[in-house]
A and B are shown apart, each in its own frame.
Chain A
Amino acid sequence: MSQDVSSTPRQRPRVFLVEDHAVFRAGVKAELGDAVEVVGEADEAAAAIELINERVPDVVLLDVHLPGGGGRAVLDGVANEHSEVRFLALSVSDAPEDVIAVIRAGARGYVTKTISGPELLAAIYKVAAGDAVFSPRLAGFVLDAFANQGSDALGRPPGSLTGLDHELDQLSPREQQVLRLIARGYTYKEVARDLTISVKTVESHVSSVLRKLQLSTRHELTKWATDRRLV
């Protein structure tokens, strides 16, 4: 996922680290180096909420598994006061329930801790710029979660029975195309070229998928996430 960092004209993003493993925290800081300004760090939820609300960073790197309520608690604790703070979730596991839970709680991206330094940096810049960070794996999860959306088991279109908001419960064909390419390992730029659209359009499709993921009332989403355990 080597998105070009240079296209972001803004100054260095102010980053806050929430992570309970000191070794990993130090490692991340070393990898990020001077490319970002680390404004603080915390190793548990309550302290993190307080410091983030005080310092209002651009991007919070958030460990999903955290003492004191997990990453969700931090997301919820900050969202009320400073909705402009953006979150990028980090996790050791690719467990779908983790991914779906933090995205639905408001994180704008999800990466695993095995991510390389430059990739992490690119992800931070993208989140800071307001874009969503979709790894191939996350794209796969979303496709899977919204799969077979054409009809339910009885062949009814989705929402026909419950009257749910159709828009939010379906991916447009274009969004599906974009996600499929991302899942296949394409960068946003490559997706744009393949579909002959602009990178901005790709980004807006991805952001719209993220919004659907966060707002969708499909209860299957949660069920799907807990049922599914892969790789």
Chain B
Amino acid sequence: MGGICAGISKATGIDVTLVRIAFALLGLGSGIGVLLYALAWLIVPLEGEDTNIFGRAVHDRRGIRLVLAVIPALIVAQIIASSLHVGFVGSFIWPAFLAAGAAVLIWRNADPDERLWINRDLIPMVRPDRDPHSRRSLLWRIVLGVALALTGVVVIGLGGTTAAALRPIGGALLFIAAVIVIFGPWWITLVRDLMSERQARALAEERSQMAAHVHDSVLQTLALIQRSAEDPQRVIALARTQERELRSWLFDGRPPVTFSDEATTLVEGVTVLQRQVEADHEITVQAVIVGDCALSDSLRALLDAGREATVNAAKWSGEDQVSLYAEVERDTVMLFVRDRGRGFDPGAVPDDRRGIAESIRTRVQRCGGTAAIRSRPGEGTEVELSMPRRSPAA
């Protein structure tokens, strides 16, 4: 409550929950825990402050007088109790008194923050709201609770002859019921407050994460775009990269896979291919994928060949767009790379370009696939690749 448990656990290294449980047990046992807690609250200064509440309380004459004034009343109460032979009242009346006294002093000398907290969370426990309805319900709760508690006490006291073990348990249950009836609503409000507080915190966290992401990627890109306003191609490339990144973050809930080694499925592999070619060459890769499957070594080879074909199109076609189509069939994966650019005559290609075509072909053939390249001058080029889904070696 006052942060005592947290303080202790911080100082000793014991888990805060354990400390709390210990205090709660001590408090239930005799009230000594409550007293200890209140004392600690008095003595231990707030983090970052050097005066403690106790220091201030010593100078609070009125408060001390107020507390001392109760002592005669307590003595009278104890005399009555002992004359009635209810000894146990005496055993916890003093700790209870000290705890109450300490509480009064804490209240009077707490700093504004703590006072606000006490006002909000503790006072409603003992003081009904202004609302007459809830005041009545509190009254009923107290009456019912006290009745239950008394019954419980009586049952415990009578515990004797028959069903000896059951009686005290029943009594204890009644007593617990009484506590629940009286304090239940207050406790529920507390829990509800706690939960809404936690939700608000989660929301704030998410928002700050979002802000961080927007800052890291979107704002950076916008800055880059402003700086490269002279170079439309670069602006387009930047905007395209950012769009893809933002999209996969928004719709797929994950950052895009960046390296081909990390891709585990065909869809991921094609996406990486697309990103890299678009980033390195000023061309739009229009990718369409039908179906998906896990990437094997031979399918990676297929993607590598597809990348080469795409880069080839970017370099030679003279177009700003290339289509890439991948389809997963039952036994094979097909990959088409097509541009509508200048094309060439496959029968009469210069050696450098023949080299590229050969390298694409050998890549896929080595893994048991096939490649066909169709092109005619002025009508673009299409590379058709296919790869069996199971590598022949396996």
Contact = CB atoms under 8 A, between A and B. Distances in A.
Contact of B289 (A95, A140, A186): A140
B338 interface: yes
Interface string A6-42: 0000000000000000000000000000000000000
B288 A147 contact: no
A140 B325 contact: yes
A136 interface: yes
Contacts of A229: 251-252
Given A140-B290, A184-B338, A231 B325 contact: no
Interface in B243-275: 243, 247, 251-252, 267, 270-271, 274
B291 A147 contact: yes
B217 interface: no
Interface in B268-309: 270-271, 274, 286-292
Contact of B251 (A93, A180, A185): A93
Contact of B267 (A95, A180, A184, A230): A230
A139 interface: yes
A29 to B, nearest CB: 21
Interface of A: 93, 95, 114, 136-137, 139-140, 143-144, 147, 180, 183-186, 229-231
Contact of A144 (B290, B323, B340): B290
B290 A136 contact: no
Contacts of A95: 251
B327 A231 contact: no
Given A140-B288, A230-B267, A183 B325 contact: yes
Nearest to B340: A185
A128 B166 CA distance: 86
Nearest to A136: B288
Contacts of B251: 93, 95, 229
11 contacts: A93-B247, A95-B251, A136-B288, A139-B288, A143-B290, A180-B325, A183-B288, A183-B290, A184-B323, A185-B323, A231-B271
B336 interface: yes
A184 B289 CA distance: 10
Contacts of B267: 230-231
Contacts of A139: 288
Contact of B290 (A93, A114, A147, A186): A147
Given A95-B251, A231-B267, A231-B274, A185 B286 contact: yes
A229 B351 CA distance: 42
The 4 closest A-B pairs by CB, nearest first: A185-B323, A140-B288, A184-B325, A144-B290
B338 A185 contact: yes
Nearest to B274: A231
A186 B338 CA distance: 9
A136 B291 contact: no
Interface string B56-93: 00000000000000000000000000000000000000
B289 A231 contact: yes
Given A140-B289, A180-B325, A185-B340, 8 more contacts: A93-B247, A95-B251, A143-B327, A184-B338, A185-B336, A186-B338, A230-B267, A231-B271
